[in-house]
Amino acid sequence: MDFDAYDHVRPIRWLGDRLELLDQRILPLEEEYVACADADAVAGAIRELVVRGAPAIGIAAAWGVVLAAQALARQRPGIDSGDFALAELEPAIATLLKARPTAVNLAWALQRMRRAMQGAGVDWLPRLAAEAEQIVSEDLAGNHAMGLAGANLIEPGSGVLTHCNTGSLATAGFGTALGVVRAGVAQGRIARVFAGETRPWLQGARLTVWELQKDGIDATLIADAAAAHLMASGQVQWVIVGADRICANGDVANKIGTHQLAIVARHFGVKFMVVAASSTLDMGTATGADIEIELRHADELAAVAGKRHVADGVKAWNPVFDVTLAGLIDAIVTERGVVMAPQASKMALTFVAKGVA
C-alpha cells in the first residue's frame, strides 16, 4: 500500500542541535512546535505530555540523550571513550527515565542508547546520534509491517473502535493500532471507524480524529461512555488499541478505559486486538499486577481546556492507564509476530524463543 498517502503528521523533528516537538497539549486548535535544547527540557516535555504515546516517548528520550551528549562534548572536549561518556551521562538518562513510569518504550530506548555508547571510542557521539536515527526508522518500518499484519485479521466490511491516540502523533509515523486502521481502510477491510474521546485528556477527540481527518479517513467520534451502546448495536467487529507495556503472560497496560472496552467487547462477541511495537514487550514483567500505573494530578479531571467545571474541594482519582488481562485479548500484533489468544507459553514461543524480547 501507499503508506505515505495515509500518514501526514510528524510530532518529532530533530534539527541537529535541538529537538522540536509538536505540542500535543494544544492540538488540534493550534499547531505549534516546542523547541527542546537540552535533556531536561525533553524530560519536562514528556512529563507534561507535549509528546506522548509509548513509542514517541522513547524516541524523544533517545534524542534527549543526544542533546545531553552534545552538551558533555562541548563542556569536556576530547572524551575518547564511550564508557566514560556513558558514566557522565547517567544522571541525564535517569532524569529522562523518571519522566513517566508506565510505557516501557522509554526504558527500552534509553537502554539502546546506553548500549550504543558501551565500548565506543572517539566516535561515541556520532554513534549515539546514529542509534537515535535507527530507533526512528525501525519504528516507522515496524508500524508499516504491523499495520498490514493487523489488517489481515479483519474481515472486509468490518467496523472498528479505537481508543486514545496510537497514530503518527504517538510514534515515528503511521501508528500502531491506528496503523492497522489506516491499512484496513486502504484495503477496504474496514468500512466504519469509531474513536472514543478518551477522557480526561481527550487524546481520541483532540488527536485521533484530527489525524484521520488529515488522511481523508472518515471517522466518527463517540463519548467513552457510548462504547457499550455502540458495540450492542452491531456496528463494530473489532476494538483495536495500542499498548504501553505488554507482560510475559500477555497482560497489557494501555490508556485508562481500555480494560472496560475489552470487557464489553467480550460480552458482545466483538474481537479485541492489541497492536504494539516489539519495544513495548516487557517479558521481564510476569503479569500486569507488576506494572506501575501512572497516577496524574486530580486537576486533570477537574477542568477541560483550562476551564474548571468541578466544585472546589472535590476529590478525584486519576490513574491514566489500566491493565487488560490476557484472557480478554484475541490478538497481540507486533512487527515481529502475532499471538492469538495470548498466554505465557505462546508469548514465550513467539518472542523469547525467537530472540525478539
Q: Tell whether residue 162 is a contact of ligand MRU (CB under 6 A).
A: no
How many residues in the shown chain lie near ligand MRU by CB under 6 A? 17
Count other Cβ atoms within 10 Å, centred on residue 305. Answer: 9
Burial of 21 (0-12, 13-18, 19+ CB in 10 A): buried
Burial of 91 (0-12, 13-18, 19+ CB in 10 A): exposed
Q: How far is the CB of 80 from ligand MRU (least distance, A)?
A: 38
Q: Tell whether residue 259 is a contact of ligand MRU (CB under 6 A).
A: no
Q: x/- site string to ligand MRU, residues 290 to 329, per CB under 6 A?
A: ------------------------------x---------
**Residue 122 or 295 with smaller CB distance to ligand MRU:** 295
Q: Tell whether residue 244 is a contact of ligand MRU (CB under 6 A).
A: yes
**Residue 43 or 243 with smaller CB distance to ligand MRU:** 243
When binding is defined by CB under 6 A, the residue of 70, 162, 166, 279 that contacts ligand MRU is 166
**Residue 82 or 175 with smaller CB distance to ligand MRU:** 175
Written as one string, the DSSP assignment of 34-56 is: EEE-SHHHHHHHHHTTSS-SHHH
Tell me, yes or no, if 83 is annotated catalytic: no
> Quick one: DSSP state of residue 294?
P
Q: Tell whether residue 7 is a contact of ligand MRU (CB under 6 A).
A: no
Residues 6+ apart with CB under 8 A from 223: 196, 197
Phi then psi dihedrals of residue 34, to 5 deg: -100, 130
Span from 144-152, 242-250, 266-274, 333-341 in contact with ligand MRU (CB under 6 A): 242-250
Marked catalytic residue, from 7, 23, 215, 244 = 244
Closest C-alpha to 66, from 45, 96, 99? 96
> What's the grid cell of residue 157?
466490511
Closest C-alpha to 54, from 163, 166, 196, 189? 166
**Residue 53 or 159 with smaller CB distance to ligand MRU:** 53
When binding is defined by CB under 6 A, the residue of 170, 172, 183, 262 that contacts ligand MRU is 170
**Residue 55 or 342 with smaller CB distance to ligand MRU:** 55
Span from 121-129, 130-138, 170-178, 189-197 in contact with ligand MRU (CB under 6 A): 170-178
Span from 25-33, 47-55, 80-88, 113-121 in contact with ligand MRU (CB under 6 A): 47-55
Exposure string for 242-267, b = 16+ CB within 10 A, e = fewer: bbbbbbbbbbbbbbbbbbbbbebbbe
> What's the grid cell of residue 9?
503528521
Which residue blocks in the chain are alpha helix, DSSP H? 39-47, 54-75, 82-97, 104-117, 124-151, 177-186, 209-214, 227-232, 258-268, 299-302, 344-347
**Residue 244 or 251 with smaller CB distance to ligand MRU:** 244
When binding is defined by CB under 6 A, the residue of 11, 53, 147, 200 that contacts ligand MRU is 53
Q: Please list every residue from 64 through 103 that binds ligand MRU, using CB under 6 A.
A: 103
| Whole-angstrom distance, CA of residue 143 vs CA of residue 195 | 19
Give catalytic residues, as residue numbers.
Answer: 244
**Which chain residues interact with ligand MRU by CB under 6 A?**
52-55, 103, 164, 166, 170-171, 176, 203, 242-244, 254-255, 320
